[in-house]
Chain A
Amino acid sequence: MRPAALHATFRILWNSIQLQLKDNVVSSQIIGPLILQPVIFTLISVGTYLYGNRPDLGLFAITGTGLISIWNANLFTSGDIIREERRRGTLSLIMASPTPLIVILLGKSLANAVTSVIAMGLTFLTGMLAFQIPIVIADPLAFLIGMILVIVSITCLGLIFGTLFILTRSAGEVMSAVNYPVYILSGLSIPLTLLPLWTHPFSQILSPTWGNLVLNAAASGTEGSMLLNYLVIVGLSVLYLIIAHFLYRYVEYRALQTGTLEQW
Protein backbone atom coordinates (compact mmCIF):
# COMPACT_ATOMS: atom_id res chain seq x y z
CA MET A 1 0.00 0.00 0.00
CA ARG A 2 1.35 3.44 -0.97
CA PRO A 3 2.09 5.91 1.87
CA ALA A 4 -0.63 8.28 0.68
CA ALA A 5 -3.20 5.48 0.64
CA LEU A 6 -2.07 4.30 4.04
CA HIS A 7 -2.37 7.82 5.39
CA ALA A 8 -5.87 8.12 3.92
CA THR A 9 -6.88 4.80 5.47
CA PHE A 10 -5.73 5.90 8.92
CA ARG A 11 -7.50 9.24 8.49
CA ILE A 12 -10.75 7.45 7.66
CA LEU A 13 -10.22 5.06 10.54
CA TRP A 14 -9.71 7.94 12.95
CA ASN A 15 -12.74 9.83 11.59
CA SER A 16 -14.86 6.72 12.01
CA ILE A 17 -13.71 6.34 15.61
CA GLN A 18 -14.52 9.99 16.33
CA LEU A 19 -17.93 9.78 14.67
CA GLN A 20 -18.89 6.66 16.58
CA LEU A 21 -17.72 8.10 19.89
CA LYS A 22 -19.87 11.18 19.29
CA ASP A 23 -22.78 8.94 18.35
CA ASN A 24 -22.30 6.95 21.57
CA VAL A 25 -22.42 10.08 23.69
CA VAL A 26 -25.90 11.00 22.44
CA SER A 27 -27.27 7.48 21.85
CA SER A 28 -29.75 5.98 24.28
CA GLN A 29 -29.21 2.52 22.79
CA ILE A 30 -25.73 2.29 24.30
CA ILE A 31 -27.22 2.43 27.82
CA GLY A 32 -28.31 -1.20 27.58
CA PRO A 33 -25.10 -3.04 26.75
CA LEU A 34 -22.86 -0.52 28.46
CA ILE A 35 -24.57 0.18 31.77
CA LEU A 36 -27.59 -1.99 32.47
CA GLN A 37 -26.33 -5.33 31.26
CA PRO A 38 -23.06 -5.34 33.23
CA VAL A 39 -24.91 -4.48 36.42
CA ILE A 40 -27.72 -7.00 35.97
CA PHE A 41 -25.48 -9.84 34.76
CA THR A 42 -23.12 -9.27 37.67
CA LEU A 43 -26.02 -9.41 40.11
CA ILE A 44 -27.32 -12.64 38.55
CA SER A 45 -24.00 -14.45 38.17
CA VAL A 46 -22.34 -13.44 41.43
CA GLY A 47 -25.65 -13.82 43.29
CA THR A 48 -26.00 -17.38 41.97
CA TYR A 49 -22.43 -18.27 42.98
CA LEU A 50 -22.88 -16.81 46.45
CA TYR A 51 -26.12 -18.73 46.91
CA GLY A 52 -24.29 -21.92 45.93
CA ASN A 53 -21.59 -21.18 48.55
CA ARG A 54 -19.00 -20.55 45.86
CA PRO A 55 -17.66 -17.09 46.75
CA ASP A 56 -14.33 -18.21 45.26
CA LEU A 57 -15.96 -17.90 41.83
CA GLY A 58 -17.13 -14.32 42.48
CA LEU A 59 -14.16 -12.63 40.82
CA PHE A 60 -14.33 -15.13 37.94
CA ALA A 61 -17.98 -14.22 37.41
CA ILE A 62 -17.22 -10.51 37.51
CA THR A 63 -14.42 -10.75 34.96
CA GLY A 64 -16.57 -12.97 32.75
CA THR A 65 -19.46 -10.54 32.94
CA GLY A 66 -17.13 -7.70 31.98
CA LEU A 67 -16.04 -9.62 28.89
CA ILE A 68 -19.66 -10.47 28.10
CA SER A 69 -20.42 -6.75 28.12
CA ILE A 70 -17.45 -5.94 25.88
CA TRP A 71 -18.45 -8.65 23.41
CA ASN A 72 -22.08 -7.57 23.56
CA ALA A 73 -21.35 -3.91 23.03
CA ASN A 74 -19.15 -4.79 20.09
CA LEU A 75 -21.52 -7.24 18.45
CA PHE A 76 -24.69 -5.24 18.93
CA THR A 77 -23.17 -2.01 17.78
CA SER A 78 -21.51 -3.66 14.76
CA GLY A 79 -24.89 -4.99 13.76
CA ASP A 80 -26.55 -1.68 14.47
CA ILE A 81 -24.02 0.22 12.39
CA ILE A 82 -24.90 -1.83 9.30
CA ARG A 83 -28.60 -1.76 10.09
CA GLU A 84 -28.62 2.00 10.57
CA GLU A 85 -26.62 2.65 7.39
CA ARG A 86 -29.13 0.49 5.54
CA ARG A 87 -32.12 2.31 7.05
CA ARG A 88 -30.62 5.71 6.33
CA GLY A 89 -29.97 4.66 2.75
CA THR A 90 -26.23 5.28 3.09
CA LEU A 91 -25.05 1.65 2.97
CA SER A 92 -24.96 1.49 -0.80
CA LEU A 93 -23.23 4.89 -0.98
CA ILE A 94 -20.50 3.67 1.35
CA MET A 95 -20.18 0.42 -0.57
CA ALA A 96 -19.81 2.36 -3.80
CA SER A 97 -17.18 4.75 -2.41
CA PRO A 98 -13.47 3.98 -2.85
CA THR A 99 -13.05 3.53 0.91
CA PRO A 100 -13.78 -0.07 1.93
CA LEU A 101 -16.70 -0.31 4.34
CA ILE A 102 -14.63 -2.63 6.48
CA VAL A 103 -12.27 0.24 7.38
CA ILE A 104 -15.21 2.33 8.56
CA LEU A 105 -16.65 -0.66 10.39
CA LEU A 106 -13.29 -1.33 12.03
CA GLY A 107 -13.06 2.26 13.27
CA LYS A 108 -16.59 2.30 14.59
CA SER A 109 -16.28 -1.12 16.22
CA LEU A 110 -13.00 -0.13 17.84
CA ALA A 111 -14.65 2.99 19.25
CA ASN A 112 -17.42 0.85 20.70
CA ALA A 113 -14.96 -1.64 22.14
CA VAL A 114 -12.99 1.13 23.84
CA THR A 115 -16.21 2.62 25.20
CA SER A 116 -17.18 -0.76 26.56
CA VAL A 117 -14.27 -0.64 29.01
CA ILE A 118 -16.76 1.31 31.12
CA ALA A 119 -18.78 -1.91 31.32
CA MET A 120 -15.81 -3.80 32.76
CA GLY A 121 -15.40 -1.10 35.40
CA LEU A 122 -19.10 -1.27 36.22
CA THR A 123 -19.03 -5.02 36.78
CA PHE A 124 -16.22 -4.62 39.32
CA LEU A 125 -18.05 -1.72 40.96
CA THR A 126 -21.29 -3.74 41.16
CA GLY A 127 -19.45 -6.68 42.69
CA MET A 128 -17.92 -4.42 45.33
CA LEU A 129 -21.07 -2.47 46.18
CA ALA A 130 -23.70 -5.20 45.98
CA PHE A 131 -21.77 -8.16 47.37
CA GLN A 132 -18.89 -6.55 49.24
CA ILE A 133 -16.48 -8.69 47.24
CA PRO A 134 -12.97 -7.36 47.80
CA ILE A 135 -11.80 -6.59 44.30
CA VAL A 136 -8.03 -6.58 44.21
CA ILE A 137 -6.23 -7.03 40.90
CA ALA A 138 -3.03 -8.80 41.80
CA ASP A 139 -1.15 -7.84 38.63
CA PRO A 140 -2.59 -4.60 37.24
CA LEU A 141 -0.08 -4.33 34.38
CA ALA A 142 -0.79 -7.84 33.10
CA PHE A 143 -4.52 -7.11 33.45
CA LEU A 144 -4.18 -3.88 31.45
CA ILE A 145 -2.18 -5.53 28.67
CA GLY A 146 -4.66 -8.41 28.57
CA MET A 147 -7.57 -5.98 28.46
CA ILE A 148 -6.14 -4.01 25.54
CA LEU A 149 -5.34 -7.18 23.59
CA VAL A 150 -8.75 -8.70 24.19
CA ILE A 151 -10.58 -5.51 23.21
CA VAL A 152 -8.69 -5.38 19.91
CA SER A 153 -9.25 -9.09 19.39
CA ILE A 154 -12.98 -8.93 20.12
CA THR A 155 -13.21 -6.04 17.67
CA CYS A 156 -11.57 -8.19 14.99
CA LEU A 157 -13.93 -11.06 15.78
CA GLY A 158 -16.88 -8.66 15.61
CA LEU A 159 -15.72 -7.60 12.14
CA ILE A 160 -16.36 -11.10 10.81
CA PHE A 161 -19.97 -10.92 11.96
CA GLY A 162 -20.29 -7.26 10.99
CA THR A 163 -19.32 -8.19 7.44
CA LEU A 164 -21.98 -10.88 7.30
CA PHE A 165 -24.62 -8.42 8.54
CA ILE A 166 -24.30 -6.60 5.20
CA LEU A 167 -25.99 -9.52 3.47
CA THR A 168 -29.00 -9.84 5.73
CA ARG A 169 -31.79 -7.64 6.95
CA SER A 170 -32.13 -9.96 9.94
CA ALA A 171 -28.97 -8.67 11.59
CA GLY A 172 -30.84 -8.35 14.89
CA GLU A 173 -31.68 -12.04 14.93
CA VAL A 174 -28.15 -13.02 13.94
CA MET A 175 -26.74 -10.82 16.71
CA SER A 176 -28.99 -12.44 19.28
CA ALA A 177 -28.17 -15.91 18.02
CA VAL A 178 -24.39 -15.57 18.16
CA ASN A 179 -24.34 -13.89 21.56
CA TYR A 180 -24.87 -16.79 23.93
CA PRO A 181 -22.74 -19.38 22.07
CA VAL A 182 -19.74 -17.09 22.61
CA TYR A 183 -20.57 -16.65 26.32
CA ILE A 184 -20.86 -20.41 26.77
CA LEU A 185 -17.98 -21.57 24.56
CA SER A 186 -15.62 -18.95 25.99
CA GLY A 187 -16.48 -19.86 29.56
CA LEU A 188 -17.54 -16.32 30.42
CA SER A 189 -18.89 -16.58 33.99
CA ILE A 190 -19.24 -20.35 33.68
CA PRO A 191 -16.39 -22.89 33.95
CA LEU A 192 -15.37 -24.52 30.67
CA THR A 193 -15.21 -27.87 32.46
CA LEU A 194 -19.02 -28.00 32.32
CA LEU A 195 -18.95 -28.25 28.56
CA PRO A 196 -18.58 -31.55 26.70
CA LEU A 197 -15.14 -32.32 25.32
CA TRP A 198 -16.16 -31.98 21.68
CA THR A 199 -16.84 -28.26 22.21
CA HIS A 200 -13.30 -27.49 23.41
CA PRO A 201 -11.78 -26.91 19.93
CA PHE A 202 -14.48 -24.25 19.35
CA SER A 203 -13.53 -22.64 22.66
CA GLN A 204 -9.87 -22.56 21.66
CA ILE A 205 -10.49 -20.53 18.51
CA LEU A 206 -12.43 -17.83 20.35
CA SER A 207 -10.27 -15.04 21.71
CA PRO A 208 -12.68 -14.25 24.62
CA THR A 209 -11.69 -17.69 26.00
CA TRP A 210 -8.04 -16.65 26.17
CA GLY A 211 -8.95 -13.15 27.29
CA ASN A 212 -10.91 -14.68 30.15
CA LEU A 213 -7.91 -16.82 31.11
CA VAL A 214 -5.53 -13.87 31.01
CA LEU A 215 -7.76 -11.46 32.94
CA ASN A 216 -8.59 -14.03 35.60
CA ALA A 217 -4.96 -15.01 36.00
CA ALA A 218 -3.91 -11.36 36.27
CA ALA A 219 -6.71 -10.54 38.70
CA SER A 220 -6.09 -13.51 40.97
CA GLY A 221 -2.28 -13.38 40.69
CA THR A 222 -1.78 -16.87 39.32
CA GLU A 223 1.88 -17.82 39.02
CA GLY A 224 3.45 -18.26 35.60
CA SER A 225 4.15 -16.38 32.38
CA MET A 226 1.25 -14.98 30.41
CA LEU A 227 3.28 -14.41 27.28
CA LEU A 228 1.93 -17.50 25.54
CA ASN A 229 -1.67 -16.47 26.19
CA TYR A 230 -0.94 -12.96 24.92
CA LEU A 231 0.57 -14.42 21.75
CA VAL A 232 -2.46 -16.63 21.20
CA ILE A 233 -4.77 -13.60 21.47
CA VAL A 234 -2.60 -11.64 19.02
CA GLY A 235 -2.48 -14.62 16.66
CA LEU A 236 -6.23 -15.07 16.78
CA SER A 237 -6.74 -11.35 16.15
CA VAL A 238 -4.61 -11.57 13.01
CA LEU A 239 -6.51 -14.66 11.92
CA TYR A 240 -9.86 -12.90 12.43
CA LEU A 241 -8.64 -9.90 10.43
CA ILE A 242 -7.56 -12.13 7.55
CA ILE A 243 -10.91 -13.97 7.58
CA ALA A 244 -12.81 -10.67 7.81
CA HIS A 245 -10.77 -9.25 4.91
CA PHE A 246 -11.50 -12.12 2.54
CA LEU A 247 -15.08 -12.41 3.72
CA TYR A 248 -15.58 -8.71 3.09
CA ARG A 249 -14.21 -9.01 -0.42
CA TYR A 250 -16.66 -11.82 -1.10
CA VAL A 251 -19.56 -9.94 0.48
CA GLU A 252 -18.69 -6.75 -1.38
CA TYR A 253 -18.58 -8.65 -4.66
CA ARG A 254 -21.94 -10.26 -3.99
CA ALA A 255 -23.50 -6.96 -2.93
CA LEU A 256 -22.28 -5.16 -6.03
CA GLN A 257 -23.22 -8.07 -8.27
CA THR A 258 -26.78 -8.47 -7.03
CA GLY A 259 -27.47 -4.78 -6.32
CA THR A 260 -29.95 -5.59 -3.58
CA LEU A 261 -28.46 -3.66 -0.67
CA GLU A 262 -31.46 -1.35 -0.48
CA GLN A 263 -33.92 -4.16 0.03
CA TRP A 264 -35.45 -3.65 3.43
Chain B
Amino acid sequence: MRSAWRLFWGGVRVSWVDYLVEMTPEIFLGMRLPRILLQALFFIFLAKAAGGADLERFALIGNGVQIAVFILILTMEAVIESEKYDDTFQYLIAAPSSWLPIMLGKCMAYYGEAMIASSVTFAVLIPLLHIPIVPVDLLRAVPVILIIFVSAGAMGWCIGAFSLPVRYGYLIGNWMGYLMMIFCGINVPFGSLSAPLQFVGNLLPVTHGLLAVRALIDGASYASVWPLIAKEVMILLVYSAIAWVTFGYRLHVTRQQGTIEQV
Protein backbone atom coordinates (compact mmCIF):
# COMPACT_ATOMS: atom_id res chain seq x y z
CA MET B 1 0.00 0.00 0.00
CA ARG B 2 2.84 2.34 0.90
CA SER B 3 4.53 1.50 -2.36
CA ALA B 4 1.31 2.26 -4.25
CA TRP B 5 1.12 5.70 -2.59
CA ARG B 6 4.74 6.36 -3.45
CA LEU B 7 4.09 5.46 -7.08
CA PHE B 8 0.96 7.59 -7.11
CA TRP B 9 2.83 10.65 -5.83
CA GLY B 10 5.60 9.98 -8.33
CA GLY B 11 2.94 10.04 -11.04
CA VAL B 12 1.49 13.27 -9.66
CA ARG B 13 4.91 14.92 -9.82
CA VAL B 14 5.48 13.71 -13.39
CA SER B 15 2.03 14.92 -14.35
CA TRP B 16 2.64 18.37 -12.89
CA VAL B 17 6.09 18.78 -14.47
CA ASP B 18 4.80 17.53 -17.82
CA TYR B 19 1.90 19.95 -17.64
CA LEU B 20 4.12 22.93 -16.88
CA VAL B 21 6.37 22.23 -19.87
CA GLU B 22 3.61 23.29 -22.27
CA MET B 23 1.40 25.32 -19.97
CA THR B 24 3.38 28.31 -18.83
CA PRO B 25 1.46 30.86 -16.73
CA GLU B 26 1.38 33.21 -19.75
CA ILE B 27 -0.12 30.53 -22.00
CA PHE B 28 -2.60 29.42 -19.35
CA LEU B 29 -3.82 32.90 -18.49
CA GLY B 30 -3.51 34.40 -21.95
CA MET B 31 -4.70 31.52 -24.12
CA ARG B 32 -6.18 28.58 -22.24
CA LEU B 33 -8.51 30.41 -19.84
CA PRO B 34 -9.92 32.81 -22.46
CA ARG B 35 -10.47 29.84 -24.74
CA ILE B 36 -12.38 27.98 -22.04
CA LEU B 37 -14.59 30.98 -21.30
CA LEU B 38 -15.24 31.80 -24.93
CA GLN B 39 -16.12 28.23 -25.84
CA ALA B 40 -18.71 28.15 -23.09
CA LEU B 41 -19.91 31.63 -24.03
CA PHE B 42 -20.47 30.64 -27.65
CA PHE B 43 -22.80 27.78 -26.76
CA ILE B 44 -24.55 29.88 -24.11
CA PHE B 45 -25.20 32.64 -26.66
CA LEU B 46 -26.53 30.01 -29.02
CA ALA B 47 -28.98 28.83 -26.37
CA LYS B 48 -29.97 32.40 -25.51
CA ALA B 49 -30.71 33.17 -29.16
CA ALA B 50 -32.85 30.04 -29.37
CA GLY B 51 -34.72 30.06 -26.10
CA GLY B 52 -34.13 33.29 -24.22
CA ALA B 53 -33.06 33.65 -20.59
CA ASP B 54 -34.32 30.24 -19.42
CA LEU B 55 -32.35 28.29 -21.99
CA GLU B 56 -29.37 30.57 -21.39
CA ARG B 57 -29.34 29.59 -17.72
CA PHE B 58 -29.80 25.95 -18.68
CA ALA B 59 -26.86 26.11 -21.11
CA LEU B 60 -24.62 27.86 -18.61
CA ILE B 61 -24.98 25.01 -16.13
CA GLY B 62 -24.48 22.44 -18.87
CA ASN B 63 -21.47 24.13 -20.41
CA GLY B 64 -19.92 24.97 -17.04
CA VAL B 65 -19.68 21.23 -16.44
CA GLN B 66 -19.09 20.16 -20.05
CA ILE B 67 -16.08 22.42 -20.48
CA ALA B 68 -14.27 20.39 -17.81
CA VAL B 69 -15.61 17.10 -19.16
CA PHE B 70 -14.17 18.01 -22.54
CA ILE B 71 -10.74 18.69 -21.03
CA LEU B 72 -10.84 15.44 -19.06
CA ILE B 73 -11.80 13.23 -22.00
CA LEU B 74 -9.02 14.70 -24.11
CA THR B 75 -6.32 14.69 -21.46
CA MET B 76 -7.11 11.25 -20.04
CA GLU B 77 -6.93 9.86 -23.56
CA ALA B 78 -3.66 11.71 -24.04
CA VAL B 79 -2.21 10.34 -20.79
CA ILE B 80 -2.71 6.81 -22.11
CA GLU B 81 -1.57 7.64 -25.63
CA SER B 82 1.53 9.49 -24.44
CA GLU B 83 2.89 6.22 -23.05
CA LYS B 84 3.21 5.18 -26.67
CA TYR B 85 4.78 8.38 -27.99
CA ASP B 86 7.08 8.94 -25.00
CA ASP B 87 8.42 5.37 -25.21
CA THR B 88 7.45 4.63 -21.62
CA PHE B 89 4.95 1.89 -22.42
CA GLN B 90 7.63 -0.80 -22.11
CA TYR B 91 8.51 0.35 -18.59
CA LEU B 92 4.94 -0.23 -17.52
CA ILE B 93 5.26 -3.77 -18.88
CA ALA B 94 8.66 -4.45 -17.36
CA ALA B 95 8.15 -2.87 -13.94
CA PRO B 96 7.20 -5.33 -11.17
CA SER B 97 4.78 -2.85 -9.62
CA SER B 98 1.20 -2.27 -10.66
CA TRP B 99 0.71 0.30 -13.43
CA LEU B 100 -2.48 1.66 -11.91
CA PRO B 101 -1.11 3.99 -9.16
CA ILE B 102 1.37 5.75 -11.40
CA MET B 103 -1.13 6.11 -14.23
CA LEU B 104 -3.66 7.58 -11.83
CA GLY B 105 -1.02 9.97 -10.55
CA LYS B 106 -0.18 11.05 -14.09
CA CYS B 107 -3.77 12.23 -14.52
CA MET B 108 -3.90 14.51 -11.51
CA ALA B 109 -2.66 17.77 -13.05
CA TYR B 110 -5.40 17.49 -15.64
CA TYR B 111 -8.07 16.95 -13.02
CA GLY B 112 -6.76 20.15 -11.46
CA GLU B 113 -7.09 21.95 -14.78
CA ALA B 114 -10.63 20.64 -15.26
CA MET B 115 -11.67 21.89 -11.84
CA ILE B 116 -10.16 25.30 -12.49
CA ALA B 117 -11.89 25.44 -15.91
CA SER B 118 -15.31 24.67 -14.47
CA SER B 119 -14.86 26.99 -11.47
CA VAL B 120 -13.70 29.91 -13.61
CA THR B 121 -16.53 29.38 -16.10
CA PHE B 122 -19.14 29.57 -13.36
CA ALA B 123 -17.37 32.32 -11.44
CA VAL B 124 -16.98 34.60 -14.46
CA LEU B 125 -20.03 33.89 -16.58
CA ILE B 126 -22.73 33.89 -13.88
CA PRO B 127 -22.12 37.54 -12.91
CA LEU B 128 -21.15 38.58 -16.43
CA LEU B 129 -24.37 37.31 -17.98
CA HIS B 130 -26.50 38.07 -14.89
CA ILE B 131 -27.68 34.47 -14.67
CA PRO B 132 -29.95 33.81 -11.66
CA ILE B 133 -27.99 31.06 -9.92
CA VAL B 134 -27.47 31.17 -6.17
CA PRO B 135 -23.79 30.39 -5.40
CA VAL B 136 -24.75 28.31 -2.34
CA ASP B 137 -26.94 26.06 -4.48
CA LEU B 138 -24.10 25.67 -6.95
CA LEU B 139 -21.72 24.75 -4.14
CA ARG B 140 -24.20 22.09 -2.96
CA ALA B 141 -23.85 20.42 -6.34
CA VAL B 142 -20.03 20.28 -6.23
CA PRO B 143 -19.80 16.63 -5.00
CA VAL B 144 -21.93 15.48 -7.95
CA ILE B 145 -19.89 17.61 -10.35
CA LEU B 146 -16.76 15.86 -9.06
CA ILE B 147 -18.38 12.47 -9.68
CA ILE B 148 -19.13 13.58 -13.25
CA PHE B 149 -15.48 14.55 -13.72
CA VAL B 150 -14.29 11.13 -12.59
CA SER B 151 -16.74 9.31 -14.87
CA ALA B 152 -15.73 11.53 -17.82
CA GLY B 153 -12.09 10.78 -17.04
CA ALA B 154 -12.89 7.06 -17.07
CA MET B 155 -14.36 7.48 -20.51
CA GLY B 156 -11.19 9.28 -21.65
CA TRP B 157 -9.16 6.31 -20.39
CA CYS B 158 -11.43 3.94 -22.30
CA ILE B 159 -10.91 5.89 -25.52
CA GLY B 160 -7.15 5.97 -24.89
CA ALA B 161 -6.95 2.25 -24.17
CA PHE B 162 -9.13 1.24 -27.12
CA SER B 163 -7.38 3.50 -29.60
CA LEU B 164 -3.83 2.70 -28.45
CA PRO B 165 -2.95 0.63 -31.55
CA VAL B 166 -4.08 3.39 -33.92
CA ARG B 167 -3.16 7.05 -34.22
CA TYR B 168 -6.59 8.63 -34.01
CA GLY B 169 -7.07 8.60 -30.25
CA TYR B 170 -6.98 12.36 -29.78
CA LEU B 171 -9.30 12.86 -32.73
CA ILE B 172 -11.78 10.35 -31.33
CA GLY B 173 -11.63 12.00 -27.90
CA ASN B 174 -12.14 15.44 -29.39
CA TRP B 175 -15.25 14.45 -31.28
CA MET B 176 -16.63 12.38 -28.46
CA GLY B 177 -16.48 15.56 -26.37
CA TYR B 178 -18.59 17.40 -28.93
CA LEU B 179 -20.94 14.44 -29.46
CA MET B 180 -21.65 14.40 -25.75
CA MET B 181 -23.01 17.91 -26.13
CA ILE B 182 -25.74 16.37 -28.26
CA PHE B 183 -26.37 13.17 -26.32
CA CYS B 184 -26.04 14.34 -22.72
CA GLY B 185 -28.44 17.28 -22.64
CA ILE B 186 -25.88 20.05 -22.37
CA ASN B 187 -27.61 22.78 -24.39
CA VAL B 188 -31.17 21.44 -24.52
CA PRO B 189 -33.03 19.30 -21.95
CA PHE B 190 -32.26 15.59 -22.12
CA GLY B 191 -35.99 14.83 -22.05
CA SER B 192 -36.51 16.75 -25.30
CA LEU B 193 -34.15 14.51 -27.26
CA SER B 194 -35.51 11.80 -29.52
CA ALA B 195 -35.70 8.24 -28.16
CA PRO B 196 -32.57 6.96 -29.99
CA LEU B 197 -30.54 9.92 -28.73
CA GLN B 198 -31.82 9.35 -25.18
CA PHE B 199 -30.90 5.68 -25.43
CA VAL B 200 -27.29 6.57 -26.27
CA GLY B 201 -27.24 9.37 -23.71
CA ASN B 202 -28.32 6.97 -20.98
CA LEU B 203 -25.19 4.91 -21.61
CA LEU B 204 -22.80 7.85 -21.43
CA PRO B 205 -21.17 9.56 -18.46
CA VAL B 206 -22.41 13.07 -17.56
CA THR B 207 -26.09 12.60 -18.54
CA HIS B 208 -27.47 11.47 -15.18
CA GLY B 209 -25.01 13.44 -13.11
CA LEU B 210 -25.89 16.63 -14.94
CA LEU B 211 -29.60 16.05 -14.38
CA ALA B 212 -28.81 15.74 -10.67
CA VAL B 213 -26.67 18.89 -10.73
CA ARG B 214 -29.46 20.89 -12.39
CA ALA B 215 -31.99 19.64 -9.83
CA LEU B 216 -29.67 20.46 -6.90
CA ILE B 217 -29.04 23.96 -8.22
CA ASP B 218 -32.79 24.43 -8.48
CA GLY B 219 -33.13 23.54 -4.81
CA ALA B 220 -33.82 19.79 -4.82
CA SER B 221 -32.54 17.68 -1.93
CA TYR B 222 -29.84 15.03 -2.24
CA ALA B 223 -32.41 12.41 -1.26
CA SER B 224 -34.56 13.23 -4.28
CA VAL B 225 -31.69 13.02 -6.78
CA TRP B 226 -30.06 9.95 -5.25
CA PRO B 227 -31.16 7.59 -8.06
CA LEU B 228 -29.54 9.86 -10.66
CA ILE B 229 -26.30 10.01 -8.67
CA ALA B 230 -26.34 6.23 -8.27
CA LYS B 231 -26.69 5.80 -12.04
CA GLU B 232 -23.77 8.17 -12.65
CA VAL B 233 -21.63 6.24 -10.16
CA MET B 234 -22.64 2.97 -11.83
CA ILE B 235 -21.59 4.32 -15.21
CA LEU B 236 -18.33 5.56 -13.67
CA LEU B 237 -17.58 2.07 -12.37
CA VAL B 238 -18.44 0.38 -15.66
CA TYR B 239 -16.26 2.72 -17.72
CA SER B 240 -13.43 2.46 -15.20
CA ALA B 241 -13.60 -1.32 -15.32
CA ILE B 242 -13.59 -1.33 -19.13
CA ALA B 243 -10.62 1.07 -19.19
CA TRP B 244 -8.70 -1.00 -16.62
CA VAL B 245 -9.33 -4.28 -18.43
CA THR B 246 -8.60 -2.85 -21.89
CA PHE B 247 -5.35 -1.14 -20.90
CA GLY B 248 -4.27 -4.26 -19.01
CA TYR B 249 -5.07 -6.29 -22.12
CA ARG B 250 -2.95 -3.98 -24.28
CA LEU B 251 -0.01 -4.45 -21.89
CA HIS B 252 -0.51 -8.20 -21.81
CA VAL B 253 -0.74 -8.64 -25.58
CA THR B 254 2.24 -6.36 -26.18
CA ARG B 255 4.36 -8.35 -23.74
CA GLN B 256 3.13 -11.67 -25.11
CA GLN B 257 3.71 -10.88 -28.77
CA GLY B 258 6.69 -8.55 -28.46
CA THR B 259 5.01 -5.82 -30.44
CA ILE B 260 5.96 -2.75 -28.43
CA GLU B 261 6.94 -0.80 -31.55
CA GLN B 262 3.55 -1.48 -33.07
CA VAL B 263 1.57 -0.02 -30.19
The residues of A with any CB-CB pair to B shorter than 8 Å are 28-29, 31-32, 36-37, 40-41, 43-45, 47-49, 51-54, 57, 170, 173-174, 176-177, 179-181, 183-184, 189-191, 194
Interface residue B231 (Cβ < 8 Å from any Cβ of A): no
| Shortest Cβ gap from B136 to chain A (Å) | 29
Q: Are A49 and B179 in contact (CB under 8 A)?
A: no
Write out the residue numbers on chain A whose beta carbons fall within 8 Å of the beta carbon of B181. 40, 44
Q: Are B174 and A43 in contact (CB under 8 A)?
A: no
10 additional A-B pairs beyond A32-B175, A177-B32, A177-B38, beta carbons within 8 Å, are: A28-B167, A47-B182, A47-B187, A48-B47, A48-B188, A51-B50, A52-B49, A173-B32, A181-B38, A184-B45
Contact of B182 among A44, A54, A183 (CB under 8 A): A44
A47–B51 CA distance with the chains assembled, in angstroms: 12
Write out the residue numbers on chain A whose beta carbons fall within 8 Å of the beta carbon of B46. 44-45, 48-49, 189-190
Contact of A173 among B31, B50, B174, B192 (CB under 8 A): B31
Write out the residue numbers on chain B whose beta carbons fall within 8 Å of the beta carbon of A37. 175, 178
Q: Are B50 and A57 in contact (CB under 8 A)?
A: yes
Write out the residue numbers on chain B whose beta carbons fall within 8 Å of the beta carbon of A41. 178
Q: Which of B22-49 contact A (CB under 8 A)?
A: 22, 27, 30-32, 34-35, 38-39, 41-43, 45-49
Write out the residue numbers on chain A whose beta carbons fall within 8 Å of the beta carbon of B41. 180, 184
Question: Contact flags (1/0) for B55-85 with A, using CB distance below 8 Å?
Answer: 1000000000000000000000000000000
Write out the residue numbers on chain B whose beta carbons fall within 8 Å of the beta carbon of A47. 182, 187-188
Q: Chain A CB within 10 Å — which of B38, B41, B179, B181 has the most? A: B38
Q: Are B171 and A32 in contact (CB under 8 A)?
A: yes
Contact of A183 among B42, B50, B174, B188 (CB under 8 A): B42
For the A-B complex, the count of residue pairs with Cβ-Cβ distances under 8 Å equals: 98
Write out the residue numbers on chain B whose beta carbons fall within 8 Å of the beta carbon of A51. 50-51, 55, 188-189, 192
Interface residue B168 (Cβ < 8 Å from any Cβ of A): yes
A179–B32 CA distance with the chains assembled, in angstroms: 12
Write out the residue numbers on chain B whose beta carbons fall within 8 Å of the beta carbon of A190. 42, 45-46, 49
Write out the residue numbers on chain B whose beta carbons fall within 8 Å of the beta carbon of A189. 46
Contact of B50 among A43, A49, A181 (CB under 8 A): A49
Q: Which of B120-173 contact A (CB under 8 A)?
A: 167-168, 171
Main secondary structure of the interface of B (DSSP, over half): helix
Which residue from chain B places its CB closest to the CB of A190 in the assembled complex? B45
The residues of B with any CB-CB pair to A shorter than 8 Å are 22, 27, 30-32, 34-35, 38-39, 41-43, 45-52, 55, 167-168, 171, 174-175, 178-179, 181-182, 187-189, 192
A49–B46 CA distance with the chains assembled, in angstroms: 8
Which residue from chain B places its CB closest to the CB of A169 in the assembled complex? B22
Q: Are B167 and A52 in contact (CB under 8 A)?
A: no
A80–B188 CA distance with the chains assembled, in angstroms: 34
Q: Are B50 and A180 in contact (CB under 8 A)?
A: no
| Shortest Cβ gap from B164 to chain A (Å) | 16
Write out the residue numbers on chain B whose beta carbons fall within 8 Å of the beta carbon of A40. 175, 178-179, 181-182
- Please list the 5 inter-chain residue pairs (A to B) with the smallest Cβ-Cβ separation, ordered nearest first: A52-B50, A52-B51, A180-B38, A177-B31, A51-B188
Q: Are B192 and A170 in contact (CB under 8 A)?
A: no
Given A28-B171, A170-B27: A44 and B187 interface contact (C-beta under 8 Å): yes
| Shortest Cβ gap from A206 to chain B (Å) | 14
Q: Are B39 and A170 in contact (CB under 8 A)?
A: no
Q: Are B27 and A48 in contact (CB under 8 A)?
A: no
A32–B30 CA distance with the chains assembled, in angstroms: 25
| Shortest Cβ gap from B181 to chain A (Å) | 6
Given A43-B182, A45-B46, A190-B49: A28 and B168 interface contact (C-beta under 8 Å): yes
Write out the residue numbers on chain B whose beta carbons fall within 8 Å of the beta carbon of A44. 43, 46, 178, 181-182, 187
Q: Chain B CB within 10 Å — which of A47, A57, A181 has the most? A: A47
Q: Supply 14 A–B pairs (Cβ within 8 Å), ascending by A.
A: A40-B181, A47-B188, A48-B187, A48-B188, A51-B188, A52-B50, A54-B50, A57-B49, A176-B35, A177-B31, A177-B35, A180-B42, A181-B38, A190-B42
Write out the residue numbers on chain B whose beta carbons fall within 8 Å of the beta carbon of A176. 31-32, 35
Write out the residue numbers on chain A whose beta carbons fall within 8 Å of the beta carbon of B22. 170, 173
A189–B192 CA distance with the chains assembled, in angstroms: 21
Q: Are B35 and A180 in contact (CB under 8 A)?
A: yes
Write out the residue numbers on chain A whose beta carbons fall within 8 Å of the beta carbon of B27. 170, 173
Write out the residue numbers on chain A whose beta carbons fall within 8 Å of the beta carbon of B43. 44
| Shortest Cβ gap from A66 to chain B (Å) | 15
Q: Are A170 and B31 in contact (CB under 8 A)?
A: yes
Which residue from chain B places its CB closest to the CB of A37 in the assembled complex? B178
Which residue from chain B places its CB closest to the CB of A181 in the assembled complex? B38
Given A28-B171, A170-B27: A180 and B182 interface contact (C-beta under 8 Å): no
Which residue from chain B places its CB closest to the CB of A32 in the assembled complex? B171
